[in-house]
Structure 1
Amino acid sequence: MADNRPSRERPHPDVVISQTSDGTRGRSRAESFQRMGSGKQKPSPPGLSRIRSIGRNERYGRLYPTQPPQHISPNRSAEGSQHLSPKRIDLAHARRPSLNFARLPPLTTVASSGEQTANDSQYDYVERSPDESGTTQAQFDTSSWTPITRPSSGAFGDNMYQYHELRKMDFRLVRLFATKMSTIKCQIIHESLISPPKYTAISYAWGDVDDKKEIQVNDITVPVTASLFGALQAVRERGEDKLVWVDALCINQQSRDERNQQVGLMTGIYAQAEEVAIWLGPEENNSNLAIEFLEELRSEQGFPDQISDLISSPNKEQAIRAMVLLFQRDYWNRLWVVQEVYNARVIKVLCGSTKLPWETYKMAADAFRYYKDDLDAYFSGDSSSPSAFDYAQALAYEGPNSLLASDSLKRLGADALLSVMRVCRRKHTSEPRDRVFGILGVLPENVRDEFIVDYSLSIKKIYTDVIDILLHATERLDCICEAIHFPRRTNTANLPSWLPDWSQNSEITALGYSFDFAAGGNSKARHQFLRNRNELEISAVYISSIQQHGVAVGTMCTLADYLMAFLNWRALLLGSVSRENSEIRRMEEAFCRTLSLGQFPKRWKGKPEDWVTTCYHEFASHLHKRLPQLQLDDNLRSYLDAGVKIKPNPRQFFQSNFGSRMMGRCLCITDDGDIGMGTGFMLPNDLVVVPFGCRTPIIIRKEKDNPGRYRFVGDVYVDGYMHGEAIKNWETGKTELHKFVLI
């Protein structure tokens, strides 16, 4: 589902504001910040987003193992499920990094004759004073909120209200008045983040920006999105007023300077909050059943057998279906959610009228991931359903398990920035700069300090800074492989071919961080920027050129797409080898290794002939079932009765070991007869090289009109060159080292 959430860089659709009464834009200068605290047939599941589920195992960086939840025996094996790979980011409960703020650009002071300066009394802020109990209470200057009459826009009415400037380290809070009627009434105040009062930070998805409801802010009627209205209604209390922070009301979205400042403080705002309230939305799609199921799972914590029985119980089919839809709500796909949850000390999750602690959701998500094999078996009874295998994927990896935890990032070290960028790439934001600014709150302080939050900077500069930092921190070239050029997309920011466009929600990611490849051996990247960082010179060992390639598999594909690609690729290979049995057998082994990118379940490790049998059996049997009218050749037909037994879910096995790895790629044969599988953007005569400091070979293309310059095409798996073979050939003098300038 497309993200309708506007960015914090753009004017917010929830509130229409004016900035100062005379129409000028006052600014204050931001100084350096203080560092703070330092078997029955199962019914078909609902149609799910295949984009979210296919190939999840390839989308994550070099990550670390998840410790089994406390209620699960550590002896339980996940053998055969690569989705339980020890490289995934662990969603641990610890989310309390030291409180440091992103660097902010200097603000300029603009003052006209008679205009108050940044430290004068123009703020809608009055110093807090002790009440009778000695507790400091906020005082509200309602006179600072002056209704302004403007011609009606036809959308927001005539009454507008103005924001006053924030002083250094100040932020706004909303005082939600206690529930006395259906109308939501509130008041906006200024507070200091250095010594703030107790408040709740709201984390929510904007939803449909055209679906509006009205609230009263300082006695002025203001339209807000229905999602924000629901969130405010959910956190409002009957007996007392409540202080909350919510971006739509607390940030002046029309002031770029203020957005720069407040986005830089976002880490501190969520880390300082007494509680973060996640608003998932209203009760719908049987979410009440999902909530009840969550509580049942929590009540069985410490009893793994009961949890397994609950998950696989036929009586829970409807509840599990509701869980899938709950875990796929828009909220979980927001980019900003990642740091909001990551920095929270205490989290409550609100859905409709329910309110549960984060740990309840997290424990269930961990259980779904740990018992994914059981879920695969549970849904194997309906393997013909196109979304049946997606069902377990959504439960295991969507919802809470799509976010991050601090434990994993601390272990990643220099790779933290790239790993976070990879994991968050499919999160939604409408502002390309937020691909970087929106994740600063989860990065280590030494990485965060390299970025200045400034929405006036070009997208090209911000994204180039990311690669520049990664190249120097890791001394590896793998980061440029995140420049995905297939399927083709319009490059509106005029980025070089080697520079990843992080704003693209790509369905595939680079190979190097998904598997244990080491094409560049232990070498370090040899690179330098040219022409103001518009060009990148690299050192690499030349392997060969692309002689021919097969059809490319798209990213929005079905089983039939994989099957047709298999037939095309196999025919291409058979036409390139002699008819000798030994030659054909070597080709088949290399072909089947390439289809699975050299990865095998434990059962087939070290057994290449058995893997060929399994591979051909899988494709032949699916072709026979899906396309019975298609005439298979004698060789393929012989594998139909090969006696291969795949349990528990043959469709999931196929998708995990073949489908997800073929997606977005095509088969190729080099001039030297090597077999490979890489980006669908490749063309004949493209060069295949292994750069120093890169885990995989890459494909580059000569620029016809620019001699000595090349375009980056994508990464590629080349059978026989994935574990340092090219570097060894160079070390022994069998090949030479070349320099290539990428543009």
Structure 2
Amino acid sequence: MKDHDQFKLRPLSTPRSIRLVVLRRSAENDSIENPLGGHLVEVDVDCPPSYVALSYTWGGEEPCEPLVIHNSGRAKQQLLITPNCAAALRLLRRSLRRKTKKRRSLSVWIDAICIDQASDDERNAQVAMMAEIYQRSKTVVVWLGQDHAPTTWGSLACSKPLALFPRLSYDRGRNDGVKSFAARIALKVCNNDTLHRLRLSPYWTRVWTLQEFAHKNSAVLCRDSRLFVFSSLARLLAVAPKDESVPSQQGMDLHVDLYEWQAMATTRPFRAATNQLRRVLTMQASEPRDKIFALRALSPGVLGKMTVDYRKPVGEVFLDATRLMVEEEHSLRVLYFSNRKKTTAGVAWESMPSWTVDFATTDSEVRGSYKYYYTSLCAASGGAKSHFSFSGDGKRLTLRGVCVGRVGSFVSDIFPTKSQCVEGRCVADHKDMTDKDDESEVKHPFSHDCESPYMDVLGCFMTSVTSTVWAGPKLDAMGRSLYELLWWIIQRPKKYEWSASMSSTSTSCSSSSNKAVRGMSVVSSLVKWDSLHCGCQCRVELRLGRLFYTIDRKAGFGVVGVREGDAVCLLAGMDHPFILRPCKGEAGRYEIVGPTVFAGAMGGEMWPADEDELEYFEIV
């Protein structure tokens, strides 16, 4: 038999109204056995009483803990909340009993309680105001979870002195005395276990917490019910060692960056739309549309123009967001992310424009040298400004550029992300084409230091080329093109200089077989040099991509989806060349495949001097 009726929210009286949960000091111990209870009050968001806003994660938990609502004039009603939310409320209730700062009550805004989740209309209106709700709060209380929150306020007290130093001292890449001294002292004194558990919190992986966290008075709720203001902790996290193997590391870095950005009180927009999209794509949300709606406040000039509507199909939300990023930023860079796998369920991706970004994709693999944040090294379109237009229905994107080649039959296997090498040596199979009757296979081993079978992929690719193309000017040109491509991939991002004189290549080889071996030896020596000087740049830059040759023998390296017949295009406003796939039976229409690195084009060498030579590409 139930002691209380199931809770039902009354509709809010005005569009600018919000609800607050009022917690009152308990006369009993704040144990799990002591039921949580509070009052719900409706207030105007434009002139609210003092309140705190709780920032936490739902974490996929099922609501199972009761919160008793004691509203006057109505029977007690019960609302079920998640265990993580209940743990935070108990600590906030316990804080009312502290001897040094006793209070009778505390008003809290909590999304799961204060928004009627069953009403799409209210949910749309309240989510649109969430940035205001958090910004108008006295404090944003950050709850990292029972397993990750600091045990006591004192476990983080070591970071307090860091707030005395200017933020500039903590910029990465600087090695001034203040930074070194402050970091050395703070990290030595601070509780390392506390920092480790804090870093592992799933809080940092949630996209909604980005907007909530960007508040000058954000404070971490400790398990002793005390609040630790984040301004000091941000300094410590900025200089603490990074562990990129931890999934939450990128998210935590982005939260810290956001906090520091708003603390500088600058009018410069954060540009969360594109510049931070690489990191935002890895963050999580239980509702796919929230990958866009949660960024509205951080990108007011772009995503802030999106209307919050949970009735709108997910695919349409993503389509509108991609189009807005192009139109409002006057940039095509968001298209770098359109090649991520489309994994969001419930979206008919086959009928969506190929340029639409799946913002909720589970594809989080880091790409190779055609990745977005290498654009500063490229100028394939010669610095030309972007030229684009959308069709009336917003589904067809027309770009201007030039086609510089078609992918031929030589396309490599996919280069792996991580791998091991057998005894540090790779073996390439090759048939000696000098003797047409000799069908025996010759194995050419070559050593390297990178310990990765990506060399096996490269070896098989080279073997397929030398087994098909006769020795002569064409094969020599293909070898030079591949060498130029690999040199750009390895050398361009690095300050160290490599020269062919470092190669162990033998100059006495003359057969087509030995020409292939010679090419492999050059690559092998380049990789060996890379391993010693650049930290295995090859392994990093070739992962999750394919090598290919165009019909006219030019080498390229692009996304996994590249295949024979695709067009290699230079597009105005894009730093990398892009692979486009012609639509069957529809001249001039293409699907976007993804960015590529293309030999002889990365510095604008193939961009026409006369713009009249440019053509139009309609992307569907």
Normalising by the residue count of structure 2, what TM-score does the alignment of the two structures yield? 0.75
- Aligned counterpart in structure 2 of residue 235 of structure 1, from 63, 86, 92: 92
User: 1: distance between equivalents of 2:248 and 2:53?
Assistant: 30
Match of 1:546 in 2: 407
Q: 1:207 deviation in Å?
A: 2.6
Amino acid paired to 1:670: T
User: 2: distance between equivalents of 1:408 and 1:666?
Assistant: 45
Matched, 1:511 2:363: no
Q: 1:45-194 maps to which residues of 2 (within 5 A)?
A: 159-166=5-12, 167-181=14-28, 182=30, 183=34, 184-194=36-46
- Contact 1:213-1:226 within 8 A present in 2 as well: yes
- Contact 2:325-2:334 within 8 A present in 1 as well: yes
Query: What whole-Å deviation, never above 9, does each CA across 1:411-451 have from its counterpart, x for those lacking one?
Result: 468x553234444222111222212211111123x435522
User: 1: distance between equivalents of 2:524 and 2:416?
Assistant: 27
The alignment partner of 1:515 has SS state of: helix
Match of 2:565 in 1: 685
Match of 2:216 in 1: 345
- Aligned counterpart in structure 1 of residue 64 of structure 2, from 212, 224, 234: 212
Q: 1:737 deviation in Å?
A: 2.2
Does the C-alpha gap of structure 1 residues 420 and 456 become closer, same or farther in structure 2, counting only changes over 3 Å?
farther
User: 1: distance between equivalents of 2:401 and 2:527?
Assistant: 44
Query: What whole-Å deviation, never above 9, does each CA across 1:612-632 have from its counterpart, x for those lacking one?
Result: 879x9xxxxxxxxxxxxxxxx
Q: 1:166-565 maps to which residues of 2 (within 5 A)?
A: 166=12, 167-181=14-28, 182=30, 183=34, 184-210=36-62, 212-218=64-70, 219-236=76-93, 237-238=96-97, 239-240=102-103, 241-283=105-147, 288=151, 294-299=156-161, 303-309=178-184, 320=192, 323-342=195-214, 344-353=215-224, 355-368=227-240, 390=245, 394=249, 398=253, 400-401=255-256, 403=258, 405-406=261-262, 410-411=267-268, 417-444=273-300, 446-447=301-302, 450-486=305-341, 492-494=347-349, 495-507=352-364, 508=366, 511-516=371-376, 517-530=378-391, 532-547=393-408, 548-553=410-415, 557-558=418-419, 563-565=452-454
Amino acid paired to 1:345: K
The alignment partner of 2:371 has SS state of: coil
Matched, 1:593 2:487: yes
Question: Bigger relative contact order, structure 1 or 2, given CA contacts below 8 A and separation 6+?
Answer: 1
User: 2: distance between equivalents of 1:640 and 1:703?
Assistant: 39
- Contact 1:700-1:712 within 8 A present in 2 as well: yes
User: 2: distance between equivalents of 1:351 and 1:486?
Assistant: 39
Does the C-alpha gap of structure 1 residues 230 and 707 become closer, same or farther in structure 2, counting only changes over 3 Å?
same
Does the C-alpha gap of structure 1 residues 558 and 332 become closer, same or farther in structure 2, counting only changes over 3 Å?
farther
- Contact 1:365-1:396 within 8 A present in 2 as well: no
- Contact 2:208-2:294 within 8 A present in 1 as well: yes
Does the C-alpha gap of structure 1 residues 528 and 259 become closer, same or farther in structure 2, counting only changes over 3 Å?
same
Q: 1:201 deviation in Å?
A: 0.3
Amino acid paired to 1:684: E
Does the C-alpha gap of structure 1 residues 659 and 248 become closer, same or farther in structure 2, counting only changes over 3 Å?
farther
User: 2: distance between equivalents of 1:450 and 1:640?
Assistant: 48
Q: 1:563 deviation in Å?
A: 1.8
Q: Structure 1 stretches of 5 or more lacking a match?
A: 1-151, 376-387, 617-632
User: 2: distance between equivalents of 1:587 and 1:449?
Assistant: 46
Q: 1:679 deviation in Å?
A: 0.9
User: 2: distance between equivalents of 1:232 and 1:160?
Assistant: 20
- Aligned counterpart in structure 2 of residue 728 of structure 1, from 595, 608, 617: 608
Does the C-alpha gap of structure 1 residues 352 and 551 become closer, same or farther in structure 2, counting only changes over 3 Å?
farther
The alignment partner of 1:725 has SS state of: coil
Q: 1:247 deviation in Å?
A: 0.4
Q: 1:8-47 maps to which residues of 2 (within 5 A)?
A: none
Amino acid paired to 2:486: C
Does the C-alpha gap of structure 1 residues 284 and 695 become closer, same or farther in structure 2, counting only changes over 3 Å?
closer
User: 2: distance between equivalents of 1:491 and 1:483?
Assistant: 18
User: 2: distance between equivalents of 1:562 and 1:573?
Assistant: 19
Amino acid paired to 1:533: G
Q: 1:652-671 maps to which residues of 2 (within 5 A)?
A: 653-654=535-536, 657-671=537-551
Q: 1:365 deviation in Å?
A: 1.4
Does the C-alpha gap of structure 1 residues 489 and 329 become closer, same or farther in structure 2, counting only changes over 3 Å?
same
Q: 1:489 deviation in Å?
A: 7.1
Normalising by the residue count of structure 1, what TM-score does the alignment of the two structures yield? 0.63
Does the C-alpha gap of structure 1 residues 583 and 672 become closer, same or farther in structure 2, counting only changes over 3 Å?
closer
The alignment partner of 2:302 has SS state of: helix
Q: Structure 2 stretches of 5 or more lacking a match?
A: 71-75, 166-177, 422-449, 506-519
Name the Cα RMSD after superposition. Answer: 3.9
Amino acid paired to 1:698: F
Amino acid paired to 2:493: F
The alignment partner of 2:10 has SS state of: coil
Matched, 1:740 2:597: no
The alignment partner of 1:190 has SS state of: strand
Matched length? 532
Identity rate, percent:
20
Matched, 1:608 2:608: no
User: 2: distance between equivalents of 1:476 and 1:529?
Assistant: 13
User: 2: distance between equivalents of 1:199 and 1:351?
Assistant: 19
Match of 1:75 in 2: none
Amino acid paired to 1:476: S
User: 1: distance between equivalents of 2:44 and 2:588?
Assistant: 56
Amino acid paired to 1:419: N
- Contact 1:520-1:693 within 8 A present in 2 as well: yes
Q: 1:575 deviation in Å?
A: 5.4
Query: What whole-Å deviation, never above 9, does each CA across 1:648-698 have from its counterpart, x for those lacking one?
Result: xx8xx33xx344433332222222333322211111221110112212111
Match of 1:714 in 2: 594
User: 2: distance between equivalents of 1:429 and 1:170?
Assistant: 26
Q: 1:572 deviation in Å?
A: 1.9
Does the C-alpha gap of structure 1 residues 395 and 661 become closer, same or farther in structure 2, counting only changes over 3 Å?
same
Does the C-alpha gap of structure 1 residues 295 and 669 become closer, same or farther in structure 2, counting only changes over 3 Å?
farther
Q: 1:476 deviation in Å?
A: 3.0
Q: 1:338 deviation in Å?
A: 0.7
Does the C-alpha gap of structure 1 residues 435 and 542 become closer, same or farther in structure 2, counting only changes over 3 Å?
same
